[in-house]
Amino acid sequence: MKYFLSLSFLFLIGLLSAQSAYHQCGVNHEMDAQVKERLLANRAWAANNVVPRMDEIYVPVNFWRVGFDDGTGKIRITDILDQLCKLNLDYSDTRFIFYLNNILELDNEDVFLDPASYGAFLGSQKNGEGSDGVNIFVCQNAGTGGIGTTLGYYSPNFDFIVMRKQELPAPSSGTLTHEMGHFLSLPHPFFGWEGLPYDPDVHGNPCSVNTAELVNGSNCNFAGDGICDTPPDYLFSFSPMSCVSGCNFECEIYDRNNDQIFPHEENVMSYFDNCSVFEFTTDQENAMYDDQASPSRAYIRSDYVPDTNMVATNWVVNSPTIAQKYDNYNSVLFDWEDLDNASNYLVTISGSSNHEIIVEQSELFITDLLPNGFYTFGVRAYNQVSSCSVFTPAANLIFTTGDLETSNNNISEVDHISIYPNPVRNGSTLTISLDLNTNIAMTTSVFNTTQSTAISIKQNDFHSGLNNIELDVDGFPAGMYLIKFDAGDKQIVKRVVVTH
């Protein structure tokens, strides 16, 4: 098991429960044949080359948030983080570590509703912005035809994955794990039976199909999925037989040699569902390693090593406080303490309006909330690999906004403002330097994070050129402060941190 996952899933116990969505992927027989062809080609290539076996194989992943033309309808970013977390859990017994390379945006209603009809277009996106990782397009639908509802598919023609949006919020879903297996050259173990599952009334018992894989392994290198440690599977999970249910196969079925068949129900690439665990076989893992090392996969290989350290969870939120009332609505500051190993923070604000915003610093200044709004607030910390951390303990922290409006227009007369030192230690002096292109009168105000009370107000007549203001912060409690410069109906807001 990978060390960075050892404690990651305390918040998602449901991930360890029965998994019910490995079946019904959109890779049909023709697509699966292409996957198998690549597997066999990789095997031949590996036989004539030294294939390195790294202890850890880092794989960059690009998630595409596809939506309507107006940008609505997209998957939530928090669901993407959950799926990355789930993907690494499911591959934790392999050498693969998947890391978040990019979250990309695509506003295209046609693709959102029917991605299978726009393979070449999505391929061009993959070769453009997505050229440096595995590309996963999350759309409203993922249908390619075939049995049942399609939950996702891998396109061997264009080398990307499509996921149905409804699959990502489900923490127990293993669809992406399954499709990533296809990306890494794994066919279905029931290859050749797509569209017509085994039926003893049609195929006989013993099975009379001459091309079917045999239990004794004599044709395992080319029959079925071409992998010898995956036992025969004649798509039994879709068979009409009553002795098949979920993850339970209790049928006495024999191959043409009269050897009884015991399929691997828990195999990630099968269509059995509701198993307590799913797994890859050793030969499947080796096939995936060969694929990642092959010439066709050079674009996902690099010397880059992402941060695999677990993000800390000792949250300290400075603002908002519980049930805090912000007098302003279009000038609100959220602030929390840095967490070890976090490279990004996902801020979610829900209620009168909804927002998902990624920041790198432990603060967010937002200007587009609604007046007299009722909101909940949460922050989720993550890095490129450790995406399993929970939201702040007060993930449903409630706050409200008032109806006061703050103008945030830039003041054209100000060319540059610098504030130093920032952070500033309590008891020190803060210097504010303004570079102006003309003379102007401005009011300088300092507010705490509630923005309701001005701690300091100064009226200044500034001259063209460099102007300095000194502010004594003695007695200021540690925390975040706003410095506002007002010139009529125009305003500039800067932030400063005071430390002990």
Q: Annotate 20-67 with DSSP letters as a single string.
A: --SS--S--HHHHHHHHHHHHHHHHHHHTS-----S-EEEEEEEEEEE
Convert the pLDDT of each residue in 342-373 to its tens digit.
999 999 999 999 999 999 888 888 888 999 99
Residue 366 in tokens: 């937002």
Mean predicted confidence (pLDDT) in 238-251? 93
pLDDT above 90 (res 278): yes
| pLDDT > 80? residue 230 | yes
pLDDT given for residue 406 in this prediction: 64
User: What's the mean pLDDT in 287-315?
Assistant: 95
- Element spanning 462, H or E: strand 454-462
Binned at pLDDT 50, 70 and 90, residue 11 comes out as: very low
Provide the token pair at 294.
């092959």
Give the length of the chain: 500
- CA 156 to CA 170: how far, in whole Å? 26
Q: Are 498 and 422 spatial neighbours (Cβ–Cβ below 8 Å)?
A: no
Mean pLDDT of 71-96: 95
DSSP 418: E
Find the range with the poorest average confidence among 14-28, 299-313, 438-452, 471-485: 14-28
Closest to 326 measured CA to CA, from 280, 262, 370, 383: 370
What is the pTM (predicted TM-score) of this model? 0.82
In the predicted model, is pLDDT for residue 14 greater than 50? no
| The pLDDT value given to residue 408 | 58
186 confidence band (pLDDT: 50, 70, 90):
very high
CA 192 to each of CA 10, 28, 224, 233: distance values in angstroms, whole numbers, following the listed order: 40, 10, 6, 10
pLDDT at 21 over 50: no
pLDDT for position 1 = 38
In this structure, of 206-220, 383-397, 446-460, the range with the lowest mean pLDDT score is 446-460
**Per-residue pLDDT at 67:** 97
The predicted pLDDT at position 450 comes to 56
Across the strands, what pairs with 345? Answer: 359, 381
Using pLDDT thresholds of 50, 70 and 90, give the confidence band for residue 476. confident
pLDDT at 424: 87
Greater confidence (322 vs 281) lies with 281
C-alpha Rg value of the chain to the nearest Å: 29
pLDDT tens digit sequence for 399-453: 999 987 765 557 889 998 888 888 888 888 999 999 999 999 999 888 876 555 5
pLDDT at residue 108 above 60?
Answer: yes
pLDDT over 70 for what percent of the chain?
A: 91
CA dist 236 → 153, 189, 197, 482 (Å): 21, 11, 6, 65
Residues 6+ apart with CB under 8 A from 30: none
Residue 494: predicted pLDDT: 84
Q: Give residue for tokens 């279905």.
A: 188
Cβ atoms < 10 Å from Cβ of 453: 9
For the stretch 130-170, pLDDT in tens is 999 999 999 999 876 555 578 899 999 999 999 999 888 76
